[in-house]
Amino acid sequence: MSRRQVDVPALVEAARAGAPRAVARLISLVEDAHPALREVMTALAPHTGHAHIIGLTGSPGVGKSTMTNALVTAFRKQGKRVAVLAVDPSSPFSGGALLGDRVRMQDHALDPEVYIRSLASRGHLGGLSSATPQALRVLDAAGCDVVLVETVGVGQSEVEVVGMADTTLVLLAPGMGDGIQAAKAGILEIGDIFVVNKADRDGADATVRDIRHMISLGDRAQPGLWRPPVLKTKADRMEGIEEVLEGIEKHIAWTSENGELKRRRKARAADEIEAIVLSELRSRIGDLRGRHSIDELAEQVALGQSDPYRASDSILADLV
Amino acid sequence: MSRRQVDVPALVEAARAGAPRAVARLISLVEDAHPALREVMTALAPHTGHAHIIGLTGSPGVGKSTMTNALVTAFRKQGKRVAVLAVDPSSPFSGGALLGDRVRMQDHALDPEVYIRSLASRGHLGGLSSATPQALRVLDAAGCDVVLVETVGVGQSEVEVVGMADTTLVLLAPGMGDGIQAAKAGILEIGDIFVVNKADRDGADATVRDIRHMISLGDRAQPGLWRPPVLKTKADRMEGIEEVLEGIEKHIAWTSENGELKRRRKARAADEIEAIVLSELRSRIGDLRGRHSIDELAEQVALGQSDPYRASDSILADLV
């Protein structure tokens, strides 16, 4: 982690002017949980709230990267500034974030209006949930019209992070994504738009029917709620992408009208605040940990002379 | 989550007598973060500290399950009671924990002295780090001589959890586990014993040399520290397993003599206490969240009228 001095006002101004290096530097500050973040976030706050955040999730092999690529192409045709944020909890074995961001999206590597970034947040508690909204805040203030948040991993927390978006796309492939699997994975609840990609494969129509059926059985089938469309695409041939964009636009219009968009953004902000509070409390606990008290408590627990709950009561009494 | 009444004294007594159903029920209470846990942990505390906790980690495909199976066979030959705890952060897509625990270890499915369990901890912050030591505490108090903690996932937090063990085995396969990869994965630091499995494959000796070389370059090469052995096995044929057991025994002896074992158990207890403290603080924040204050703060942040740090300061002032 770099702890060197940061010229926050200059950096924020450059990022707002669209300088990719300034944006990159700000997101690195987020990843590093740099002490200057507080000042950064204060400076960015008045410039946020413009970008539309689109989450994209799905099992490995459904074509997430191809779909992201296709959506970027489509948004660029509309003249929009686009950012792609790939949320990667950096499996220590796969080394996902080391792959290089631009390798994944060669079609747009040279387009200055497309900003592509992997967000590595190394297993710290709260890492994913505080880093993602903060990175979104940077991209929003930097003038992006659309930010696509794509999960690389497939864990629960990644799904939750994508679920923070204004509009969440869930990608499926024929055969892989039957309704019961989707229900188990918890994606039926978070998807605003379901997309069955690789629609030329056997079973695509069955998967579409299956997901529609599962939705019709759930809480979301109630009148007055958003009924998620289930679309078909062949992202590698740009087929069906216009329909996905239409679906996104309809969802934006619907959520804007009935206050759902405001509600989601408020919930995202609440998550962000909560993550910062927890991180601050963790660092206070860390401070305690160096001291005699917690060491002694841990020793008593390790020896079976006390239990972890009794010990935690003492810490809480010290802390609060 | 089951919130029904639990007869803690009866359950603890049955678990201590080795009743698998009682052990299973106690670990389910851990998974559910059941309110009765506090009473459970108080009752278990005096009976802990006996089991030797062995962590087992490695990339997918190195043969972790086969190695676990081989180690269980070897420990059973020594007449030891063995538990296997597979830590699975329940990827919502793979549905790992649904697979069934006994399917994975058919050789020992009918042995009453072998307890096998997957630990699912669904993406809650702190879930993995508090649930694992608490489950170990249950198995320890239930009279297990050895507990093998095996990671199913390969994320940073799983590696950290396995690193909590008294002795940590890192499994590699020829070609897959070259030194630089191992260094990146952070497993060079946590491994007490390195095992190159599938030793009949090409490149096994090169992998052994490579890992030895990386160790000789690192901090661990300093005199007075434990120098991790790098062993070769063919776990599916039980070849080299005796040497692994010898390595484990040497490591136990070494850590017992010089206080390292005590230090590790103290650190594990401290992690556990810290996780409980954080979980309690989270629930207090959750209580705040229902109230007017945090909702209003989140709205101000969502509208760009405030920033998340300023908002978190207000919460902290309310909380502490």
**Is pLDDT at A143 greater than 60 in this prediction?**
yes
Instruction: Please give the full DSSP string across B202-223, using - where no structure is assigned.
Output: TTHHHHHHHHHHHHHHSGGGST
Whether the Cβ atoms of residue A274 and residue B319 lie closer than 8 Å to each other: no
A103 pLDDT tier (thresholds 50, 70, 90): very low
Q: Which CATH architecture has domain B48-258?
A: 3-Layer(aba) Sandwich (3.40)
| Interchain proximity A277–B44, CB inside 8 Å | no
Mutate: best of A93, A172, A315, partner B, most B CBs <10 A: A93
Name residue B8's amino acid: V
Q: B184 falls in which pLDDT band (50, 70, 90)?
A: low
> How far does the CA of residue A109 sit from the closest CA of chain B (Å)?
27
pLDDT at A228 over 90: yes
| Nearest chain B residue (CA) to A282 | B278
Q: Is B42's CB within 8 Å of A309's CB?
A: yes
Residue B45 has pLDDT above 60, yes or no: yes
* B302/A278 touch (CB, cutoff 8 Å), yes or no: no
- Give the residue from chain A lying closest to B306, CA to CA: A45
Contact list in B for residue A172 (CB cut-off 8 A) is: none
Q: At what angle do helices A37-44 and B308-319 cross, to 10 degrees?
A: 120
Q: Rounded to whole angstroms, how far apart are CA atoms A129 and A151?
A: 13
User: Span A146-174, mean pLDDT?
Assistant: 81
ipTM: 0.75
Q: What is the mean pLDDT of residues A169-179?
A: 77
- Which residue of B274, B278, B299 to mutate against A (max A Cβ within 10 Å)? B274
Q: What pLDDT, on the 0 to 100 scale, is given for residue B127?
A: 53
pLDDT of residue A73: 94
What pLDDT was estimated at residue A61? 78
Pick the CATH number of A47-258 from 1.10.10.10, 3.40.50.300, 3.10.250.10, 3.30.230.80: 3.40.50.300
Residue identified by tokens 């706050």 is A45
Q: Is B266 close to A298, i.e. CB distance below 8 A?
A: yes
Residue B35 has pLDDT above 80, yes or no: yes
| B90 neighbourhood in chain A, CB within 8 Å | 156
Residues on chain A touching B38 (C-beta within 8 angstroms): 307, 309
pLDDT at A195 over 90: yes
Distance from CA of B24 to the nearest CA of A (A): 20
pLDDT tens-place string over residues A42-90 = 999 999 999 999 999 887 778 888 999 999 999 999 999 999 998 865 4
Start-end ranges of CATH 3.40.50.300 in chain A?
A: 47-258
Q: Pairing mode, if any, of strands B230-232 and B114-120?
A: unpaired
Q: How many other C-beta atoms can be found within 10 angstroms of the C-beta atom of residue B156?
A: 20
B186, closest residue in chain A (CA to CA): A92
Does the pLDDT value for residue B219 go beyond 90?
no
Mean pLDDT confidence for A107-126: 67
Tens of pLDDT, residue by residue over B55-87, are 998 877 788 889 999 999 999 999 999 999 988
**What confidence tens digit (pLDDT) does each residue in B80-123 have?**
999 999 886 543 333 333 333 444 456 676 677 788 887 765 54
Q: Which residue, among B250, B19, B88, has the nearest Cα to B10 in the 3D structure?
A: B19
Subunit contact B92:A186, Cβ cutoff 8 A:
yes
Higher pLDDT, A93 or A155: A155
What's the pLDDT band for B146 if we cut at 50, 70, 90? very high
